Amino acid sequence: MKISVIIPVVYDRGWLDDCIKSALDQNFDDYEIILASDNNPDMYIYAHRYGLRFSLNEGKHNLSTNYNNAVKIARGDYLKMLMDDDLLTPNCLKDLYENIKDYDLIYAAAINFTGRKETIVVPHHSTFKSVYEYDGIHCGTVMIKTSIFRDIGGNDENLNCMEDRDLYLNLLNSGYKMTFVNKIVYRYRVHPGQKSYRPTSERIRTKKYLTEKYKIYL
């Protein structure tokens, strides 16, 4: 198995069917899809409907623990996260797999969309001189080696936001390497229910936590 696509979900917010269908509609064959439910066994209905593998997180409830729990059963050499409100482009897995080569993580371009408006986001390589710097890795486009994700301990389960920034800093701090491919592989839905709309105070607390954790990047 080359890739494990993991879809974390708590409940269907109205986009889950489209999300799953985008993962099924890939021009790539060797992959699995894991629907990772955070303490909601009713989500098994969707896994059964589409023939997906199912992971039920019954521990501490946040995205990090839910995703880490799903990774335990992942059979792919690489991990690709797909949020339940977003979509993969049909070429996503193929383009990422063919271009990761000897790197540990790959990221790409994406389309941010809301209603009829679409914006193409083409990031550039991040230097991460501090935890406050975020030079444009689009989290939705990321694919990482499963063995590396496990080796670094997975996502930090203390975090309720900014898990992606912690992952990149953890990788850099551990000496792993990232690469970029200029292909659009992800469609990111912009809406008020996203985690990026969390209270500013929580994001400030998280940045302080990351600053202490990665003092090398001060």
Q: What is the pLDDT of residue 34?
A: 98
Residue whose pair of structure tokens reads 């975090």 in the numeric block: 159
Exposed/middle/buried for 195, CB within 10 Å: 0-12, 13-18, 19+? middle
> Given pLDDT bands bounded at 50, 70 and 90, which one contains residue 194?
low
Half-sphere exposure of 164 (CA within 13 A, CB side): 20
**What is the percentage of the chain residues whose pLDDT exceeds 70?**
89
Supply the pLDDT for residue 131.
Answer: 47
DSSP SS3 for 143: strand
Residue 61's contacts (CB-CB under 8 Å, 6 or more residues apart) are 38, 39
pTM equals 0.91
Q: Which CATH architecture has domain 3-217?
A: Alpha-Beta Complex (3.90)
34 and 4 in contact (C-beta within 8 Å)? yes
pLDDT in tens, 28-72: 999 999 999 999 999 999 999 999 999 999 977 899 999 999 999
Burial string for 168-179 (b: 16+ CB within 10 Å, else e) reads bbbbbeeebebe
State the chain's mean pLDDT as an integer. Answer: 89
